[in-house]
Amino acid sequence: WGENFLVGAELRQVLQGARMLLGDFEEASRNVAQVKQAHDPQPMVSKVHNLESTQIFLPLKVGGLRGEYFHEYGGKGHQLLYQQGNKNLPEFARYIVIPKLEQLEEVRAVGDDLAWKMTTNVYKAAHEGGFSWHVDIPSNGEATMILTLDREATMELRNLKNPDTTLTRVQLLPRSLALLSGESRWDWAHRIVPQVHEKDRISLVYGCK
């Protein structure tokens, strides 16, 4: 856990980049919905995700970057963009965030020449859009790294092997990094508690193999 994983100019660059990235993909998804040409990408059912319910995404390419854009992931108020492949990630991820993550002991233990994946989440203000109980998909690797950018949230964890265990509750503060590895990665489910706020929350979730 790190309370000040990103600060100052780096934090501002990453937050601005994440907002622009989400805005560009959201605009591209609206354009597809409005024009509806035969050659445009069509909504697809996600075959691999971490919720039990059916999730629909648009496969989009924006500014040379590909991503699976979910206008609603698990319910209203939660938008999600999933990207994989190092060259397919935005510059703020490749040149600011990932070099810092690669210094972590848990990441160094995975090996060299890692293949990275990034999930960008936005939780809309005035909605209770949380993220229901889940364990991140195995293809995301041995560690889940949750970077909170601009608004705090409450994360709860529950032990899947011992359901009677008391829930663990953690405050995800702005600028902080939460890292789940080992037992907490595989044997505990986690969720973002639904809460209504005055402004959006953006978080970045990283995985590597």
Largest CA distance in the chain: 52
pLDDT at 117: 97
Is the predicted pLDDT of residue 42 greater than 60, yes or no? Answer: no
Is the predicted pLDDT of residue 61 greater than 80, yes or no? Answer: yes
pTM of the model: 0.89
| More confidently predicted of 159 and 36 | 159
Is the predicted pLDDT of residue 76 greater than 90, yes or no? Answer: no
**What Å distances lie between residue 59 and 22, 29, 33, 123, CA to CA?**
14, 9, 13, 21
pLDDT level of residue 39 (50, 70, 90 thresholds) = very low
pLDDT at 74: 77
Average model confidence (pLDDT) for the chain? Answer: 89
pLDDT at 197: 84
Is the predicted pLDDT of residue 114 greater than 80, yes or no? Answer: yes
pLDDT at 36: 47
**What Å distances lie between residue 46 and 53, 98, 122, CA to CA?**
10, 26, 19
Contacts for 19-25: CB closer than 8 Å, 24+ residues apart = 19/202, 21/65, 21/81, 21/90, 21/120, 22/79, 22/81, 22/120, 22/122, 22/202, 24/62, 24/63, 25/60, 25/62, 25/67, 25/69, 25/81
